[in-house]
Amino acid sequence: MKPIEALGFVGLGVMGEPMCANLIRKSGKQVFGTDVRRQPVERLAAIGLRPCASIAEVAAAADLIFLSLPSGAEVEAVCCNENGIVAAEGRTHTVVDMSTSSARLSRELGARLAAHEITFLDAPVARTRAAARDGTLSIMVGGSPQEFAAIRPLLAHMGSEINHCGGVGAGQVVKILNNMIVMVTVEALAEALVTARRSGVDGKLLFDVMSKGSADSFVLRNHGLKSLVPGTFPEDAFPVDYALKDLRLAMELATQGEVELRSAPQVVELLEQTARAGYAANYFPVMIRQIDK
């Protein structure tokens, strides 16, 4: 793999901004970045980001570009449209997609970029916005063992759990199924919480006791105790719309593997009701409001 001397970052949203900040502070390399919004670019510029006005400008300066974007559509556009990385013909030789999109698209992009001598890896992330700030994300990587070894030191600035999952697309498979489990678990916790309260039991007590027994989980201690119990569903966190995207990707994977899912379609229906009720932009555990109607 070619030398990596300068880094780029495209997509400085809720997760991308703190991830990029960790690269700026820890990597010892120049980091060039851009976003459709100027505010995160300006905040990161204050700690050392080299702000860029376009994707082409990032591609002209960076050997490796990280992407953190809403969906596969944006990833494909940033890589392949007329103003994208390929068209820029800059110095970029590696693209690492840290967004969540379909495994099929990741494999297609891997082939398309390889034709232009650009290596593509998928490296989606799990855990919370706080983990993005703290550099303790879980990162699931798809790519060759050699490519993984080359980028692992950089990923270590953003994550504490970094796992090589297989070839291009394998990181997306693991991430999508991780998120499916999280969302199905949040629905179960929301149902338990509503039932407990209507049965005269305090919700926080319920989850505190559960966290000490066989029902304990990361989801219970985070999504449950920090969001469902206090009823906190901000708009600057993982929203209902994103949750729906990831669950539909899981259902697409299952269809491809001829697996009949049962729980995920029910959660999709609940989240669709939640979005129609006006909560599409809220943190996805807000689904409890539909359960508690």
Residues assigned a catalytic role: 175
247's CB contacts (< 8 A; 6+ apart) are: 179, 180, 183, 264, 267, 268, 271
Instruction: State which amino acid sits at residue 150.
Output: A
> Which two structure tokens, joined as six digits, stand for 193?
């919480």
Instruction: State which amino acid sits at residue 116.
Output: H
Residue 217 C-beta-side C-alpha neighbours within 13 Å: 14
Instruction: State which amino acid sits at residue 273.
Output: Q
> CA-based angle 151:100:277, to the nearest 5?
155
Phi and psi at 197, nearest 5°, equal: -65, -40
Calpha distance 277→89 (Å, rounded): 45
The kind and range of the H/E element at 121 are strand 119-122
124's CB contacts (< 8 A; 6+ apart) are: 97, 98, 99, 100, 139, 140, 171, 172, 175
